[in-house]
Chains A and B, each alone.
Chain A
């Protein structure tokens, strides 16, 4: 379940719910609106029918009034067929518009046909037999059709209730009013006609029925008005109730008075006039009430239609907004979150793989500061990674250079060491009256220790041992330089010049800023079998006489390069067959064990005297073993040089 699928799904779901809600509301509003429109059409159709009925009644009434005024003559004008036909046409159109029920259409057709026929018959009979007979006949034949028409105008039982109880109440009231008017008009016409034909006709069965109907209609109207009060305001209902109450209060007493005052020769003219006035007045009231109610109902329906149109616009707008919201949200989520997240994931993957090639121009598509912050952090990561990579590359290059430099320096040092070794004499080697032995263990590649064994043309030999203070390359350089200086001086000095003077000269010439060095120089004079020794800050020469024992010689002396004006003393000792002279640098006695204790002079002397006359090489081996054992390792702190001159 990925973010990419979840977020749009959730939004889609949400959008669907919103759409469903808004759509449901819109559908309901549509249904309400359509039913309102439909109800409006139906009501207009019914109203037209009522109007038609009312028009016909009005014409009849007019005819009756005319008859009452003019005796037997009915006006052909009031029965002009064109009025009825035109009204009928309007009613038919309305019914057709609302796709009326087939029964209704059939009833309407029947009425239209009957009306047309009767109008034609009436027209001819009016001209032949006079107005009263024609009217009576016309009325008698059309009355059932009126009834049908009224029934048609009434909403059939079980028909859909109107969606609006207020309008429903108004429609009910109008229906009641229409019935009341129709009944009243028919009564008027019937009574007028019967009065014309004679008092014996005043209470025929259909008249009684009409009266009963009228009474029940009145009580129905009262009930309808009472019911309508629940939904309508009293100001709307009051004229209707007043108009309806006029039937019982004004018309009915007049009618009763008329019936009570009937005489064989005709009604009492005063009562008749009162009845007519009451009838006219009541009809007027009813018509006014109907007109007012009709206007109110039309207004109400228009208002409701406007409202429902507004609701329609609102709900469809809501649905549209929901759709737009879903679209916009989806776009924001996809462009602002999902796409940047994809990009972030890709970038993180690359960073995780140490791929910092992610160029800065990778056009972040952030629309949210949080995502932008992550992108910025990634940018920093990438920059940092690039910087690290560059640094690592630089370090690698440096390391390569260090390795190369180190190799070069090691090679240089080894070359220097070869040069230094080349300076050293072969050992063991012989010199006049003796053998020269050397044990040399530099602590590093190059050494601060050096030595030589020179044979002069006159047979004397000069051996020297040098220990430059310090270690490493500087000491080695000074070591080489001092070696050359001594060698050249010893070989080139006048034969009579004492060694100590040569050394004093070298000391004098030694550059002040160069490290000092200690020196032990021995001159073997085979002719006199003696050795002259000059000791310059160096450990003392050790003489191992052939007769045994150990004799350290000398009281020290200044190193070379410490005091420019120093002079050096010379010691002389015998050098006879079997005698050994040992020259050792301080590296021997200062070899330290792991506890930093020195090997020391005593142990060294013990080693030298342990086996007198032992071959020198084996002595060296023993010393080396002893030193390594003492030290605990073969890594030296200082160069170790031991020279042995053995008198032949």
Chain B
């Protein structure tokens, strides 16, 4: 899995280039997220607008990232497609990290 990052108003956006996040990409996703947090990205938003499927392994990566966010930090997920949104709803992930309808919304709200 490859990804790109961009920073906008102090918010780091991480965009994976795959449509499926599953067991085969879970480790890479975990390393990417934790790597970004480790290099000082306080506010990290994962753009899932291009991801149509996300399984429990990838969810584990998101949970691991959420657990590593410091007290002043923030981890959010933006632009979930229906299947992913259903999984997040099923597992109550809104209690683990913040869900945004889009990256623009995430930036707007975080930079406010």
Contact = CB atoms under 8 A, between A and B. Distances in A.
Interface of A: 467, 469-471, 512, 515-516, 518, 537-540, 555-559, 562-563, 566, 586, 590, 596, 598, 637-638
Contacts of B67: 512
A590 B87 CA distance: 11
24 contacts: A467-B56, A469-B57, A469-B59, A469-B60, A470-B56, A470-B57, A471-B57, A515-B60, A516-B60, A518-B56, A540-B90, A556-B89, A556-B90, A556-B92, A558-B91, A558-B95, A559-B91, A562-B91, A562-B96, A586-B56, A596-B53, A598-B53, A598-B83, A637-B23
A590 B96 CA distance: 23
B56 A562 contact: no
A272 B17 CA distance: 154
Contacts of B26: 470
Interface of A is mostly: loop
Nearest to B63: A562
Interface in B8-32: 20, 23, 26
Interface residues of B, number: 18
Contacts of A596: 20, 53
Contacts of B89: 555-556
B96 to A, nearest CB: 6
Nearest to A558: B92
A574 B65 CA distance: 40
A516 B67 CA distance: 12
A96 B54 CA distance: 134
Contacts of A471: 23, 57
B63 A516 contact: yes
A472 to B, nearest CB: 9
Interface of B is mostly: helix
Interface string B51-80: 001011101100100010000000000000
Contacts of A590: 55
Contacts of A537: 90-92
Contacts of A598: 53, 83
A471 B60 CA distance: 12
Nearest to B91: A537
B83 to A, nearest CB: 8
Contacts of A557: 90-92
Contacts of A586: 55-56
Contacts of A566: 95
Nearest to B89: A556
Of B53, B57, B60, B96, the most chain A CB neighbours within 10 A belong to B60
A515 B57 CA distance: 9
Given A556-B90, A558-B96, 6 more contacts: A469-B60, A470-B56, A471-B23, A518-B91, A559-B91, A563-B95
A465 to B, nearest CB: 14
Contacts of B20: 596
B91 A556 contact: yes
Contacts of A559: 63, 91
A590 B57 CA distance: 13
